[in-house]
Structure 1
C-alpha cells in the first residue's frame, strides 16, 4: 500500500489589527443617544446609567454605581427603563443586572401608534391647560417680569403634557428599516409624532397667552383671583376661537360673519399667535 505525501498546508494569514476607535454606524449612534436620554430620565436622580453596544447587535444598559444595588431595587429600575424604551418601538429584555435593547418590534411600534392616537384625542381638550396656565406656576404678577411668568406657565404645561420632553428625546434620530412593513409602521409613527408635536405647540401658545393676560389683568385692578377667573372664563371659548381662526380665510375683510362669536382678550391674543392653517390660497386672476 502506497502512502501519498500530504499537501503542504498554507500558512495562516494574519489579519491586521485596528488600533483606532471602532467606527459606529449613524443609526447605532442615534439609538445610543436616544436610549441614554430615556434611561437617564427614568433612573433615580443622581444615578448614572451606562450604555454600550451589544456584540450580536443592539445595546445593553446597566446602572453604573460604586456599590451594587439590592437585587429587587435593580430589577425594578431596569424594568422601568425597559418599559419606557419599548414605547419608542424597540424590543427589550431586562433582568436585575441589565437591560437589552434589540431591534424594532412590530408589536411595540403598533403600541406606539395606539399611544400617539390616544395622546391626540386627549390633546383636543384645553381645559386642564388653561387651569394650569392661569396659576403661573405659583408666581405672583408684579414680583417677576411678565415674560418670566409666561415661561414658567409654559414649563408647567409642558411637564403636564409630558409629550414635549418625550419627543425631544428623539431629536436627531433617523429611524428606518430594510423591511417594508417596518418602514410603513415607522412612517405612521413619525407622522403621528408630528401631529402630537403640533398639538402640544398649540397648548404652549395658549399657556403663554393666558399667563400674559393674567399679568395684565392683575396690573389693572390688583386682584389676582379675579384676574384668573376672568381669563379662565375667556379661555373656555378656545375651541370656538380655533374655529374662527380656521374659517377666517372664508370671510371677506370688512364683512362681519353672523355666526362668529364675540372674541375676548385671551381669544384675540390666541388668534394672533396661532398660524392660520385654514385660509385658502389666493386665486390667480384669469
Structure 2
C-alpha cells in the first residue's frame, strides 16, 4: 500500500496591518480636534480621523442624525476656522476634509496676524475694561469680595475679548514644517508673528491685572468705587498713550491710525511716559483728572507694570 507524501502547506500569509499614524499627523489631528470642538455647539461630538490618501477628515460623531442644512453650515464654519491656520479645506454636508498647507491660506494668516498686532497696539479699551473690575458700576461695593478673585475675573474677561490667546493655545505642541521652500518661509513668518501677538496679548493681561488690583487698593482707602476708577484710569493714560507722546508721532496726520509704527510694549510705553522732553503730551480730559492727595498713584502703577513684566519674563 503506497501513500502519497503530504504536500507542503504554504505558510499563512500575514496581511499588512494599518500603517501607524506619524507624529506630525497625530499633532495635526489634535489641533484640528481643538478647533472643531470650539466651533461645534455644546454637546455635539466631533470625530477626526486620518484620510488614507493623506490629510484628515472631520465628521459629526453623534447617534442622532443631523439635518443636511445644519451639518452643511457647521462643516463650513469649521472649515473657515481650520483654514485660518493655513490648511486647505474642502467641506460639504457630509464631512470636512483637511488637506495640506496652502500658500493662499498662509498669506491670509500673515495678514490676519499683522492686523491683530496693529489692533493690540491700542491699550485704551483694555484699560477702560480693567478699571471696571468685572463690570461693576459705581454704585456697587467691593466689600467682602476677595481682590484676587476680582482680578482673576478681569483677566479672564480681557483674555476672552482678545480672542488670540485661546486660538494660539490650540496650536501648542504643534511643530509646523513643509518640504516646499516657499511654504516653509511662510510658516516661519507665521510662527514669528504668532510669537509677537502672544507677547502683546500677555502685555494686555499684565496691564489689566495691575489696573484691577490698583482699583481694589484705592477702593480700600476711601470706599468710593467711582473715584478709584477715575484715579487709576487717569494716571494709567500717561503710558497707555505713550506712543503718541514720542517726538514725531505727536505730529502725525489726524487720519493716521499708527499702522506704520512698530508695536510698543508696556516697558517702552512706561519709559516714554517718564521722559520729560518728548514733545507735547496728550491732554488728560477734565472728567478723569485725579484729585489732590493722590500722589504716588502713577508710581504704584508703574511698579506694578514692572513687577508684572519681570514675572512674565521669568
Same-fold call, TM cutoff 0.5 = yes
Q: 1:223 maps to which residue?
A: 224
Corresponding position of 2:169: 168
Structure 1 residues without counterparts, runs of 5 or longer: 1-11, 249-255, 277-286
Matched, 1:238 2:239: yes
CA displacement 1:264-286 (0-9 Å, x = unmatched): 5323321332249xxxxxxxxxx
Alignment TM-score, normalising by the size of structure 2: 0.76
Corresponding residue of 2:54:
57
Closer/same/farther in 2, CA of residues 178 and 227 from structure 1, 3 Å limit? same
Structure-2 change in CA distance of 1:135 and 1:257 (3 Å): closer
User: Which residue does 1:43 correspond to in 2?
Assistant: 40
Find the partner of 2:110 among 89, 109, 113. Answer: 113
The correspondence of residues 203-218 of structure 1 with structure 2, limited to 5 A, is 203-218=204-219
What do the CA deviations read for 1:75-130 (whole angstroms, capped 9, x no partner)? 11110000000000000000111110000000000000000000000000011111
Q: In 2 relative to 1, CA 257–124 (structure 1 residues): closer, same or farther, beyond 3 Å?
A: closer
Is the 2:47–2:60 contact (alpha carbons within 8 Å) kept by the matching residues of 1? Answer: yes
Instruction: Judge conservation of contact 1:61–1:100 (CA < 8 Å) in 2.
Output: yes
Partner of 2:22: 25
Give the counterpart of 2:277 among 255, 259, 267: 259
1:80 to 77, 82, 85: 77
* Deviation beyond 3 Å, 4+ runs, structure 1: 12-15, 241-248, 256-265
Q: Distance in 2 between matches of 1:269 and 1:115?
A: 31
The number of aligned residues is: 257
Taking the aligned partners of 2:127 and 2:275, their CA distance within structure 1 comes to 27
Instruction: Judge conservation of contact 1:78–1:99 (CA < 8 Å) in 2.
Output: yes
Q: Is the 8 A contact 1:126 1:238 kept in 2?
A: no
Once the two structures are TM-superposed, the CA of residue 243 in structure 1 deviates from its matched residue by: 3.4
Distance 1:13 1:78 in 2: 48
Contact 1:237 1:267 in 2 (8 A): no
| Change in 2 beyond 3 A, CA 1:13/1:125 | farther
For 1:247 and 1:124, the matched residues in 2 are separated by 15
Partner SS for 1:51 = strand
Show the counterpart of 2:261: none
Q: Contact 2:270 / 2:302 at 8 angstroms: preserved in 1?
A: no
1:179 deviation in Å?
Answer: 0.7
The verdict on how the C-alpha distance between 1:84 and 1:222 changes in structure 2, with shifts beyond 3 A counting, is same
**Alpha-carbon shift at residue 231 of structure 1 (Å):** 1.2
3-state secondary structure, aligned to 2:119: helix
- The CA distance in 1 between the partners of 2:69 and 2:87, in whole Å, is 24
Distance 2:142 2:239 in 1: 23
Q: Which residue of 2 aligns with 1:103?
A: 100
**2:239–2:269 contact (8 Å) kept in structure 1:** no
Query: SS of the counterpart of 1:57?
Result: coil
Unaligned runs of 5+ in 2: 1-9, 243-265, 282-295
Q: CA deviation at 1:183?
A: 0.6
Measured after TM superposition, the shift of residue 31 of structure 1 is 0.3
TM-score w.r.t. the length of structure 1 is 0.83
SS of residue paired to 2:63: coil
Match of 1:253 in 2: none
> Is residue 2:167 matched to residue 1:177?
no
